[in-house]
Amino acid sequence: MYLLFLPVLIYFVIFHYWPMYGLQIAFKEYSAIRGIGGSPWTGWTHFERFYQSSQFWIIIKNTVLINVYELLVAFPIPILFALLLNQIGNERFKKTVQTITYAPHFISIVVVVGMLHIFLSPRTGMLNHLLVLFGAEPVFFMGSEGWFKSIFVFSGVWQNMGWSSIVYVAALSGVNPDMHEAAVMDGASKLQRIMRIDLPSIQPIIVILLIMNIGSFMSVGFEKIYLMQNALNLDASEVIQTYVYKTGLLGAQFSYSTAIGLVNAVINFMLLAAVNQVAKKYKQTSLW
């Protein structure tokens, strides 16, 4: 039995625990020749340098804003969608809506960002044709700081709304129909039943997913952000992870960027623990 687990064990040791050991280079001056263990210690130098860099506040601000925006918009929408979809009586229509709304999840982010360029192009894009039709000036959306965050969040909603709703739809199908029947007898409207029966029934799942979401706060979506990034929108789109990639791998400053990544991971973990505590206090659901 243990033999069956061995490959997985080795995998996790090498690709998850070894990098954690490698995190120490955040406090060192990494040199490839001396390796992780042999590089000299530098203490908090890299952290101080990041804090004092001119980019620091821009990066922190963008990271937090994008994630808060996403949490406020992209988290509740699938819940609403699931609650409404659950009220559709016609099974075939329901199935069709599900199949189609899941589809974008299987499209790559490269293609999604490519499609954004096609639809939002200043000269040939559909949206700008529409703007011109109404007498407005065309906008170069993909090169705009002001539009960046909204485009990022709402294209994410387009891509993942259906997929994220799966869990809620499944949970809703497990709600005891007797409760609805009793409520109907008592004269409750559909809206009342959604608010009083459906929503409370899926509340534990909502809380758990919220905790998980906040646990990955500040790290999700950077691969897409990187694709959407260009010289024109950089001040609105540079986040911790993209900065880590650029300074670390493109700029070969391994120690400095590891330190920044570590800051990110620690904040993540503290947020997760905090939210979990809050959830524990008010409800019985929590991760641990």
Choice from 62, 101, 213, 237 touching other proteins (CB under 8 A)? 101
User: Minimal distance in Å, beta carbon 101 to other proteins?
Assistant: 5
Choice from 39, 217, 261, 279 touching other proteins (CB under 8 A)? 261
The runs of H, that is alpha helices, within the chain are: 2-12, 18-22, 35-38, 45-52, 56-74, 76-85, 91-102, 109-120, 126-133, 145-173, 177-185, 190-193, 199-215, 222-228, 234-237, 240-245, 254-282
Choice from 50, 238, 248, 279 touching other proteins (CB under 8 A)? 248
Choice from 44, 51, 57, 269 touching other proteins (CB under 8 A)? 269
124-153 residues in contact with other proteins (CB under 8 A) are: 124, 126, 129, 140, 142-143
**Does position 12 bind other proteins by CB under 8 A?**
yes
Residue 60 CA to residue 225 CA, distance in Å, equals 15
Choice from 76, 114, 146, 251 touching other proteins (CB under 8 A)? 114
Cβ–Cβ < 8 Å for 255, 30: yes
Q: Give the nearer residue to other proteins in terms of CB position, either 65 or 189.
A: 189
**Distance of alpha carbon 244 from its chain centroid, rounded?**
17
| Site of tokens 């099974």 | 91
Q: Give the nearer residue to other proteins in terms of CB position, either 22 or 55.
A: 22
65-94 residues in contact with other proteins (CB under 8 A) are: 81, 84-85, 87-88, 93
Backbone angles phi, psi at 75, to 5 degrees: -80, -50
User: Minimal distance in Å, beta carbon 245 to other proteins?
Assistant: 6
User: Minimal distance in Å, beta carbon 205 to other proteins?
Assistant: 7
Spatial CA neighbour of 13 closest among 25, 24, 21, 3: 21
**Does position 33 bind other proteins by CB under 8 A?**
no
CA angle 128, 130, 131 (to 5 degrees): 65
Q: Give the nearer residue to other proteins in terms of CB position, either 26 or 66.
A: 26
